[in-house]
Structure 1
């Protein structure tokens, strides 16, 4: 048997001494670590008191500062003024009105820029592309255009033909309407562009073959023109994307300024007289219940207080108050 095994087999279990039964009212029995903490705290307080006593003993009795004339004490306690004196209610109302006017001015200038961008977008003829085009608008860009009211919310998927319904009262009217539609289709099918050349018996002169040099020159010109057209098309798409991006940012800014202006107006009304009650608090409309699992684990499953809940700017809605109807004299 090794020495380590021999020493570990017959080893006494040392138990921590607890408080005696008749002294349980005094609390837990103090251990050495508790005594060390208490002693350090006591000595630190004694050192601070000794330093203060030393400062009092060594202070200059003739010491004077002009700020001493402005200071005051109450029952021997020095009172320090923080400097933020509360303003009168009328003055606060005037200040809030000025802030509201500034926000209104900035919003008006932003709306002018939004209208300018919307006019530039509406001038583009190929704003809504067909389905087989590479420059088709994606879903995010369509949402931006709908938010700016350039496109209607009722617009369906692009490229689909609209159905025109005709209502008839009797069978004869149905036959007449279908006959008119067939006649229109026949006219379109037999248009001059779709009809081929008619043989009148004359000799047709075949066009002479162009020289090889001229053909190569035309081919080079065609390649250059296609390259220029592709480059202009790409620049056109880049300009459209930049305009849509700027329009989205300015719409979000206008929404925030609108909510800010409404908040200033509500604060001025709340400072006035009259009974009111809160109908709706500032809240998130969607995505309110979605929380991160790490955040839930960090607070050990406890629910957040309404004051500590972070409000997202995308889903923020201002608070709503309802004033009691009062009779005007």
Structure 2
């Protein structure tokens, strides 16, 4: 009797646990619908997590703008703060006024020397990369665009009028504009071209154009670094107070450093 009573007491708990497990197994998972095929041209359908992220970003920016507007409205135009006298604007550019005792002249020269060394290092790296790319690439288009002359001499005016450039060069008339890779007629007869499909040809053309773009950008960057290096060198020479101030011959531009003329001084 005691055993049967205990079993009857444990029975409801076992039934409840098994019912909960069955309810979890049979429970349907509700998912957000995907974008219908008819509206697939509109892109991905925004889910709740995407909306929450966008809404949180919008509300954070809104609170920031509200705080900034409140600060502007509560600002006293006659209020004094020390940054007024520790900074100035020259030619539309904001500059900080450093204290005279903050850095010694030796420290300033050392910092400028480090800057020059860093710029020179970056310029040398770009120059080495340009050299490697130029050795790896055949700059054919540049050779074809180069304007040069090829003079042919003839014996009489009649021969000059009847002169045929294609027959003289022994090539096809459509290949006369080429300055390189201009095969002869005898070579064209024995030449066998590989079969290349349009996709492969388009891919190779795209890779070549990307390589030329990268090379052009690296050349421009190397020129900019060289200009910066020259400007730093001129600035360092101008800070030498022992010499007489030089005469500026040409003003500096974004593509060139300023040109100064120093008085000749014979060194012992």
What's the TM-score bracket when you normalise by the shorter of the two chains?
A: 0.3 to 0.5
Work out which structure has the larger RCO, using CA pairs closer than 8 Å and 6 or more positions apart in sequence.
1
TM-score by length of 1: 0.37
